[in-house]
Amino acid sequence: MLIISSDVLRSSSWKPWQTRTRRHRLLVQPLVRRSDGGILIAPQYLLTTLSVYNNHLTQGVLPWTGGVPELVNKALAERRAKRNLAFEHGLQQQLHEIGFYTIARVKPGDHARLGVPILTTEIDLVCGRVGDPNIWLIEAKDPATVHGFAETARQLRSFYLDSEVKGRIKPCYATQLSRKEAELKPYIEKIAEKLGVGSAPEQGDFVLQTRFVTRRLTPASFMISRPYDVLTATEFLNELGQVGGHSNEK
């Protein structure tokens, strides 16, 4: 995968709009095979190649598709899951530090933790604080960075466009979050009670606020018409306001 040759270049069509999905990429091939079989090494390119692979692998993806052993696919999937969980934990801790009560990682069978009668899918994070009418439903996402048109389009579809897979509709992230919001919204007072933020503040009744929160900026953040704001963790914390206070984890 690190070797490029004239044969490879002739057999691979140049499609600049395909970046990560292109089987052979000059950017990650610092070894050149000559026509006599000799190998040329581009030393100034090795660190660039290492940077590209490191950026992909730390996010649990590879800079190409196809021909990947199942054990490698499994390891990458585990990496992505651990990375996303670490992001959720970090966000929860940051919320505690500015005075929020939180309930995190609520599975369908644990719906009583939120005081709701049913959950059909997992809730990443719900939070609130004393004296604040807003109860926040947070969907934490840590998608891999994208650079090409095709990758950007795929990520946007994942967020906003339902798809059909083997005759079944696969809901996009926004559709799934809408379902979670619908299951929680009628029981906002119960959720506030479970959070321990007290009775409704003087400003009025509790209000459910729903957001996607990501580790870094994503294309989904820039959709002109979107059902929910997509904010980085930094942007979300700024929206809440850096107000200190008592914190508690449930």
Domain annotation covers residue 191: yes
Dihedral in degrees, nearest 10, Cα atoms 152, 23, 166, 168: -20
Claim to verify: residue 36 and residue 124 sit in the same structural domain: no
Digit-coded pLDDT (tens) for 72-118? 999 999 999 999 999 999 999 999 999 999 999 999 989 999 999 99
Domain annotation covers residue 194: yes
Domain annotation covers residue 102: yes
Residue-level pLDDT at 247: 43
CA-CA distances (angstroms) from residue 5 to 10, 49, 52, 122, 149? 9, 17, 20, 48, 26
| Residue that is last in its domain, among 21, 41, 58 | 58
Domain annotation covers residue 65: no
Q: How many CB atoms lie within 10 A of CB 196?
A: 14
Domain annotation covers residue 69: no
> Amino acid letter at 58?
T
Q: Which range is least confidently modeled, 22-31, 32-41, 119-128?
A: 22-31
Greater model confidence, 11 or 106: 106
Digit-coded pLDDT (tens) for 190-217? 999 999 997 766 656 899 999 999 999 9
Claim to verify: residue 88 and residue 131 sit in the same structural domain: yes
| Gap between the Cα atoms of 123 and 214, Å rounded | 15
Claim to verify: residue 18 and residue 117 sit in the same structural domain: no
Claim to verify: residue 188 and residue 240 sit in the same structural domain: yes
| Gap between the Cα atoms of 191 and 184, Å rounded | 8
Which run of H or of E encompasses 158?
Answer: helix 149-160
Is 210 in contact with 217 (CB distance < 8 Å)? Answer: no
Claim to verify: residue 120 and residue 231 sit in the same structural domain: yes
Range of the domain at 119: 84-249
Claim to verify: residue 113 and residue 151 sit in the same structural domain: yes
Residues in the chain: 250
Positive or negative torsion for Cα 177, 183, 185, 189: negative
Residue written as token pair 């809408």 = 178
Residue-level pLDDT at 165: 83
Claim to verify: residue 28 and residue 122 sit in the same structural domain: no
Domain annotation covers residue 206: yes
Overall pTM surpassing 0.85 (yes/no):
no
Domain annotation covers residue 108: yes
User: Count of domains in the chain?
Assistant: 2
Domain annotation covers residue 177: yes
